[in-house]
Amino acid sequence: MRFFLIIFFIFIDICLFTEERNTASDNRVNDILQYGIDSEVSALLKELSAFPSSDIYNKIEERYKGLKSPILKIDFINYIAKTRNPPQSMIDLVYEDATKENADRGLITTAIIAFSKIGSKREGDFVLEKLDSSDNIIKSSAADAISQMKRDGFGNQLLERLDDESSDKEPLSDDIKTRLIIFLGENKIEKAIPYLKNIISNKNNNRFMIINGMIALLKMGDLSALPQIEENLNSSDVRIQEYAAYTIGSYENSAVIPILHGMLMNNNENVRINGLKGITLNRDITSIDIVVYKLKNDPSQKVREEAFTTLLCLGSKGIEKIKEIYHGKKFSHSNLTIMSRSVAMKPDSENVQFLLDIYGSADKREREIIAKNIVAAKSNLVDPIISLILESDDYLIRLGGLKAVYNIENSSLWGKVENIANNDKMETVRRNAKRYLEMNEKSDG
């Protein structure tokens, strides 16, 4: 166990302190854009920040105008797509190239992806039109681009194109529709709810259309589709069953509680697990009795572990049940792992105090287990546990505590970190504490 703890903290230390490449200086950028060969410029674009100065953007634009090869233009278009608020003149140049007769396929597909991130209605219409391209690669690129778009006012046009009955164009393939459905959920196109309910209710649709349709409805927070989603728990397709369970378990609304209880009696292990996740999300203490039954009797170890997590996250009543069940027994290392991970991800005053009490009476190996997992916490509710970790006799555990303080939002423990930076008996710990302090100051600045 200790060997793995050492490897774990060495790994996070290396990952955290690997320095990013320095951004190219303005002088070097200007020189390359003005005098460099094409390959130098292409390499430069890969390291430029997404916030170039207007002077640099002007030089990029002038260099682009002089290019003849579509292959070289693609590097410029990829860079333009990642910048923030590129000038309209640059967007116009790309649009002009992408709409030329016999335009290069690679340039068109690159422009499609760029237009999913930049541009206005004209560019959005261009992407939508490519869904009817005779070139399957271009059509597929358009579907992928639309699935990633965040665009107001685009949803109605897309919904009209998706609806085979109202569209005067050739029906889209199921594969294309599957990807386009993602847009409807991500952009919360409520007008699409009836369409999506039909999609998920039609057992002849392919599994991915149904799955994406359920996820889209979840993203909209639509409760009217719950009967159709619940029906998919009975699908002959196991993947559809499990995604229906995931969808229902992700609704934060008391309306799903009766469905969750039914899910806990489903033969499918993953359906039961998602039922427990849903109870945790909704913090439904009326479900405690059935959760206790699952913890004690479910044939699946994974379900029993999830039930343990659920009780831990149901406040004082859930924790009291854990204490009753384990009265006079020692928590296993597996129990401690579940507890510390759960508290790290979903801390509250009750489960933090519970884990704090356990840590206070734990032996060396048990404390290692808790420390290894609690460092993933982001909430300052776990500060009392991290405070004890920072006082550990084990320098590896103290290193983990330092990482936790850095990851936690508005931690109250920076004074302790400063004290460690000045006074810890281990040079490695002092050095790391100083680094975290410096990094915190930079992020605050």
Query: What pLDDT does residue 87 have?
Result: 93
Condensed to tens digits (0 to 9), the pLDDT of residues 123-159 reads 999 999 999 999 999 999 999 999 999 887 888 899 9
- Is pLDDT of 11 > 70? no
Q: How many residues does the chain have?
A: 445
Condensed to tens digits (0 to 9), the pLDDT of residues 310-368 reads 999 999 999 999 999 999 999 999 999 999 999 999 999 999 999 999 999 999 999 99
Higher per-residue pLDDT: 167 or 389: 389
d(CA 372, CA 394) in angstroms, rounded, equals 12
Phi and psi at 11, nearest 5°, equal: -60, -50
What's the token pair of residue 2?
Answer: 């200790």
Please name each of the domains of the chain with its CATH number.
Answer: 24-149 (1.25.10.10), 332-445 (no CATH)
Q: How confident is the model at residue 164 (pLDDT cuts 50, 70, 90)?
A: confident
d(CA 377, CA 343) in angstroms, rounded, equals 8
Q: How confident is the model at residue 1 (pLDDT cuts 50, 70, 90)?
A: low
Report if pTM > 0.85: no
Phi and psi at 334, nearest 5°, equal: -65, -45
Q: How confident is the model at residue 14 (pLDDT cuts 50, 70, 90)?
A: very low
The 3-class secondary structure across the chain, one letter per residue, is CHHHHHHHHHHHHHHHHCCCCCCCCHHHHHHHHHHCCHHHHHHHHCCCCCCCCHHHHHHHHHHHHCCCCHHHHHHHHHHHHHCCCCCHHHHHHHHHHHCCCCCCHHHHHHHHHHHCCCCCHHHHHHHHHHHHCCCHHHHHHHHHHHHHCCCCCCHHHHHHHHCCCCCCCCCCCHHHHHHHHHHHHHCCCHHHHHHHHHHHHCCCCCHHHHHHHHHHHHHHCCCCCHHHHHHHHHCCCHHHHHHHHHHHHCCCCHHHHHHHHHHCCCCCHHHHHHHHHHHHHHCCHHHHHHHHHHHHHCCCHHHHHHHHHHHHCCHHHHHHHHHHHCCCCCCCHHHHHHHHHHHHHCCCHHHHHHHHHHHHHCCHHHHHHHHHHHCCCCCHHHHHHHHHHHCCCCHHHHHHHHHHHHHCCCCCCHHHHHHHHHHCCCHHHHHHHHHHHHHHHHHHC
Residue burial 61-74, b: 16+ Cβ < 10 Å; e: rest = bebbeebeebebbb
Q: How far is CA 73 from CA 108, 112, 350, in A?
A: 11, 14, 58
d(CA 277, CA 322) in angstroms, rounded, equals 17
Amino acid at 414: W
Query: What pLDDT does residue 53 have?
Result: 87
Q: Which of 34-38, 97-101, 142-146, 246-250 has the lowest mean pLDDT?
A: 34-38
- Percent of the chain residues past pLDDT 90, beyond the cut: 82
What's the token pair of residue 12?
Answer: 């996070």
Query: What pLDDT does residue 114 have?
Result: 96
To which residue do tokens 């009975």 refer?
A: 234
Query: What pLDDT does residue 165 have?
Result: 67
d(CA 414, CA 418) in angstroms, rounded, equals 6
- Is pLDDT of 17 > 70? no
On the 0-12 / 13-18 / 19+ scale of CB atoms within 10 A, 109 is buried
Q: How confident is the model at residue 167 (pLDDT cuts 50, 70, 90)?
A: low
CB contact at 8 A, 401 and 371:
yes
Condensed to tens digits (0 to 9), the pLDDT of residues 242-259 reads 999 999 999 999 999 999
Query: What pLDDT does residue 198 have?
Result: 96
CB contact at 8 A, 420 and 403:
no
Mean pLDDT of the chain: 91
Query: What pLDDT does residue 26 have?
Result: 74
**Residue 218: CA count within 13 A, CB half-sphere:** 21
Average pLDDT over residues 227-237: 97
